[in-house]
C-alpha cells in the first residue's frame, strides 16, 4: 500500500477528510474513494482508487486501484461529442459497480484531458468537455468545481507521477530518486530531480517546476512535448520526406493501408521501388526529433529512469522484455532491437507494420532528442507498487488537497 504524501494530507494539522464533502467522522477506520479519468489521445482510462484511514490522525494509505480503458480517445469524437460522452457513461458504470453506493455522494469524479484534446481546435475541444460535464452532472458522484479540464504541459510533464513513484525515497529523505519518461500517443514527457545546478540554470525557465513537499521545495526538471508522442510522431515521420503521398522507408514495401489519427484518415504506404530498413528510417525519424527536444545538462550521467506507456508496450511487442514482469534495459538495447525489427519487417509485420518506425522513433528520441548515452538504464514498467503508472494517482492526491470543502 502507498502512503499519501504528508503535505497533501495535512494542512494546518487537518486530515484529508476535512476537504471532502461533509460526512460524519467515524471513530474507527474510514474507507473513501477517488475517481480520475485520463482522457488521452488514443484512449480514455478510468482510475478508481480506494483509500483507507485507520485513524483521523494517521496517514491514509492507498488500498487498491480499479483500472479500465476504452478506445479510441475523446479526440476521435471531435465531430460527434455526444458519442464521446457515451464512452464516459460506460466507464462511469464501472465506477458504480466498484464504489459502494453509500459512498457515491462523497466520491469526487474528475476528468483531465491531455495531448489529444490540446491538439484539437479550441471550439471542438470545448464541445467535448461540455459534453463530459453534462455526463458528470447526471452521475451520482460528487462533481467538484473545475472537475473537467485539459491539463497544461507542466502537469502532464508528470511531477505528480514522479512524486508517487519516488515517495518511498522521499519519505526516507534521500536524494536517490529516479527519473520518469512517459510516451503517449500525442505527447511525450520527461521529469527528474536535477543533481546539478547547471541543469537548472541552462534549462528553459518553463522546464523547471517547484514542487512543495514536506515543507521543502524541490526543483524538478519537467516538460511535455506536444506532438512528439508515438502516434503523432508517425504522422510527422510520414511527412518527413516532403512528398504528397504519405510514404516511408520505415514501413514494409508492400504495405498499403488507411491509417487514422486525431479523427482524420490518411493513406500510407511503404516505398514500393525504394529501399527500406533501419538506416533510412533513422534518417527520416531524426528530422522529426533532432534539435527540437531539449537535452538537459546532466542527462548523459548515470541516472536511472523509469519508462512507461509506449516505451513499455513496444519493448514487449518487439520481444525486448516480458510483458508480465517488465524489465531493465539500456538505451542501446532499443537501438539493437530497432535494427533487427527494421531489417526483418516481414517477420514483425503481423505484430505491427509500424513497429520498425515506432522502435526507431523511441531510439532516436532517447539518443538524438533527450541525449541519453547508450548505457543509460531504463526500468520499463506498467505498474509501480501494483498501481498503473500515470499522473492519475498524483493528480487525485492533489485534487483532494485543492477541494477545500468543509
Residues of the binding site for ATP: 185-189
Q: How far apart are the C-alpha atoms of 147 and 205, rounded to whole Å?
A: 29
Helix, strand, coil % in the chain, rounded to nearest 5: 40, 25, 35
> Which residues have a Cβ under 8 Å from the Cβ of 244 and sit 6 or more positions away?
none
Q: How far apart are the C-alpha atoms of 141 and 245, rounded to whole Å?
A: 49
Rg (CA), the chain: 22
**Distances from the Cα of 137 to the Cα of 142, 145, 353, 406, angstroms:** 9, 11, 42, 21
| The three three-digit cell numbers of residue 51, written as one number | 483509500
Query: Which residue(s) pair with 265 in the sheet?
Result: 260
Q: Are 380 and 315 in contact (CB under 8 A)?
A: yes
Q: How far apart are the C-alpha atoms of 30 and 48, rounded to whole Å?
A: 17
Q: Which of 65, 156, 317, 368 is catalytic?
A: 156
Binding-site residues sit at 185-189
393 closest CA partner among 165, 146, 82: 165
Residue 53: helix, strand or coil by DSSP?
A: strand
Whether 156 sits among the annotated catalytic residues: the reply is yes
295 closest CA partner among 223, 215, 233, 383: 223
Q: How far apart are the C-alpha atoms of 220 and 208, rounded to whole Å?
A: 6
> Which residues have a Cβ under 8 Å from the Cβ of 106 and sit 6 or more positions away?
20, 21, 23, 32, 142
| The three three-digit cell numbers of residue 379, written as one number | 526500468
User: How many CB atoms are closer than 10 A to CB 251?
Assistant: 28
| The three three-digit cell numbers of residue 230, written as one number | 508515438
In 185-331, the DSSP E strands lie at 187-192, 208-213, 216-226, 246-248, 256-261, 264-270, 304-309, 327-330
| The three three-digit cell numbers of residue 323, written as one number | 510483458
Q: What is the set of active-site residues?
A: 156
Amino acid at each position: 500500500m502507498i502512503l499519501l504524501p504528508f503535505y497533501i494530507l495535512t494542512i494546518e494539522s487537518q486530515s484529508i477528510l476535512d476537504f471532502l464533502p461533509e460526512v460524519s467522522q467515524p471513530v474507527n477506520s474510514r474507507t473513501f474513494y477517488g475517481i480520475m479519468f485520463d482522457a488521452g489521445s488514443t484512449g480514455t482510462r478510468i482510475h478508481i482508487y480506494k483509500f483507507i484511514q485507520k485513524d483521523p490522525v494517521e496517514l491514509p494509505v492507498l488500498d487498491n486501484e480499479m483500472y479500465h480503458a476504452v478506445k479510441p480517445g475523446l479526440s476521435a469524437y471531435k465531430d460527434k461529442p455526444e458519442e464521446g460522452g457515451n464512452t464516459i457513461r460506460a466507464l462511469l458504470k464501472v465506477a458504480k459497480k466498484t464504489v459502494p453506493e453509500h459512498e457515491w455522494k462523497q466520491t469526487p469524479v474528475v476528468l483531465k484531458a491531455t495531448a489529444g484534446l490540446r491538439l484539437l481546435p479550441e471550439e471542438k475541444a470545448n464541445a467535448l468537455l461540455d459534453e463530459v460535464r453534462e455526463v458528470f452532472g447526471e452521475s451520482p458522484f460528487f462533481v467538484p468545481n473545475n472537475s473537467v479540464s485539459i491539463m497544461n504541459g507542466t502537469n502532464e510533464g508528470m511531477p505528480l507521477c514522479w512524486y508517487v513513484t519516488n515517495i518511498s525515497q522521499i519519505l526516507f529523505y534521500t536524494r536517490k530518486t529516479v527519473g520518469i519518461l512517459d510516451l503517449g500517443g500525442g505527447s511525450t514527457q520527461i521529469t527528474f530531480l536535477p543533481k546539478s545546478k547547471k541543469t537548472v540554470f541552462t534549462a528553459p525557465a518553463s522546464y523547471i517546476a517547484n514542487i512543495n513537499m514536506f515543507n521543502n521545495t524541490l526543483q524538478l526538471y519537467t516538460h511535455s512535448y506536444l506532438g512528439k508522442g508515438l502516434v503523432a510522431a508517425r504522422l510527422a515521420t510520414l511527412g518527413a520526406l516532403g512528398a504528397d503521398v504519405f510514404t516511408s522507408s520505415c514501413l514494409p514495401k508492400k504495405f498499403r493501408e488507411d491509417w487514422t489519427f486525431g479523427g482524420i484518415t490518411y493513406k500510407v504506404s511503404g516505398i514500393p521501388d525504394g529501399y527500406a530498413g533501419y538506416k533510412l528510417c533513422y534518417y527520416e525519424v531524426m528530422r522529426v526529433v533532432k534539435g527540437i527536444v531539449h537535452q538537459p545538462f546532466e542527462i548523459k550521467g548515470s541516472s536511472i529512469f523509469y519508462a512507461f506507456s509506449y516505451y513499455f508496450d513496444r519493448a514487449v511487442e518487439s520481444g525486448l522484455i516480458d510483458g508480465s514482469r517488465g524489465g531493465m534495459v539500456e538505451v542501446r538495447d532499443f537501438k539493437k532491437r530497432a535494427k533487427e525489427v527494421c531489417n526483418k519487417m516481414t517477420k514483425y509485420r503481423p505484430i505491427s507494420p509500424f513497429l520498425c518506425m515506432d522502435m526507431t522513433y523511441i531510439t532516436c528520441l532517447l539518443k538524438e532528442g533527450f541525449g541519453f548515452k547508450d548505457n543509460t538504464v531504463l526500468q520499463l514498467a506498467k505498474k509501480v507498487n501494483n498501481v498503473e503508472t500515470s499522473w492519475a494517482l498524483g493528480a487525485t492526491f492533489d485534487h483532494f488537497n485543492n477541494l477545500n470543502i468543509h
